[in-house]
């Protein structure tokens, strides 16, 4: 990277740190126009455009970066985040899968791919992904909450309650989100237990007659 390119890249990064996103985008667009082979320029342009919520343009910038080198975890991860923000959950999932091929031990990527599976109504795949996330990061409250919620949707209420309580223990701020559905889980679980007890009594009664 030339001294001029390095200087302009640092200028853009400083602007981003100061929250001057639009100015950073201008600098980065000028940089990649002059240096279309500069992966750092495209990557940071993608990041800046994401910050500006210009997700389609961000994806294009990440694609330019990937055309230079498609074996960088952060590019696939951030492209996935931009696609998720666009509600393109299948494409986002595919990006996170590419990221995890590069680094299978990233808990946040497993959590995010779980979110994609959840949005695509593949509950079991979502649970599996969240399970990987919390195995890698045992204090990952958000992933425990997401896992709990996925179990709730699958009506696996005992697990939903267990992981929801753990999520709240790790991060009490999640209690408001948990409270939206945990009583439904508790009521369903109690109802199932009552039904099972009723059937057991009926069987005992018919057996003694």
Which long-range contacts (C-beta less than 8 Å, at least 24 apart) are formed by 132-139? Answer: 132/107, 133/107, 133/108, 134/107, 136/105, 136/106, 136/107, 136/110, 137/107, 139/170
pLDDT digits (tens, 9 = 90+) for 3-62: 888 999 999 999 999 999 999 999 999 999 999 999 999 999 999 999 999 999 999 999
What one-character DSSP code corresponds to residue 171?
Answer: -
CA nearest neighbour of 114 among 14, 190, 192, 106: 106
CA distance 202 to 62: 64
Q: Taken in order 23, 26, 32, 34, is the CA torsion positive or negative?
A: negative
More confident residue, 207 or 143: 143
Q: Residue 39: its pLDDT value, please?
A: 97
Establish how many alpha carbons lie within 13 A of residue 89's alpha carbon, considering only the half-sphere containing its beta carbon. 12
pLDDT at 131: 98
First to last CA, the chain: 89
pTM: 0.91
Residue matched to tokens 């230079």: 68
Q: Residue 165 pLDDT more than 80?
A: yes
DSSP one-letter string for 4-41: HHHHHHHHHHHHHHTT-HHHHHHHHHHHHHH-TT-HHH
List helix spans (H) across 35-174: 39-51, 55-68, 73-85, 89-102, 107-119, 123-136, 141-153, 157-170
Q: What is the rounded average pLDDT of the residues 139-143?
A: 98
Per-residue confidence (pLDDT) for residue 111, from 0 to 100: 98
CB atoms within 10 A of CB 125: 17
């Amino acid at each position: 990277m030339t001294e001029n390119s390095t200087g302009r890249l640092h200028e853009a990064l400083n602007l981003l740190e100061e929250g001057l996103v639009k100015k950073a985008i201008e600098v980065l667009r000028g940089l990649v126009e002059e240096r279309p082979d500069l992966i750092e320029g495209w990557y940071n342009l993608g990041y800046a455009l994401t910050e500006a919520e210009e997700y389609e343009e961000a994806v294009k910038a990440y694609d330019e970066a990937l055309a230079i080198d498609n074996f960088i975890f952060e590019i696939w991860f951030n492209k996935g985040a931009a696609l998720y923000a666009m509600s393109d959950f299948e494409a986002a999932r595919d990006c996170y899968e590419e990221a995890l091929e590069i680094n299978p031990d990233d808990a946040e990527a497993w959590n995010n791919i779980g979110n994609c599976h959840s949005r695509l109504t593949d509950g079991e795949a979502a649970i599996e992904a969240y399970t990987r996330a919390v195995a890698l990061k045992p204090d990952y409250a958000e992933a425990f909450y997401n896992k709990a919620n996925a179990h709730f949707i699958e009506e696996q209420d005992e697990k939903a309650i267990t992981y929801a309580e753990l999520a709240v223990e790790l991060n009490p701020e999640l209690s408001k989100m948990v409270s939206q559905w945990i009583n439904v889980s508790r009521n369903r679980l109690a109802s199932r237990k009552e039904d099972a007890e009723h059937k057991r009594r009926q069987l005992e009664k018919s057996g003694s007659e």
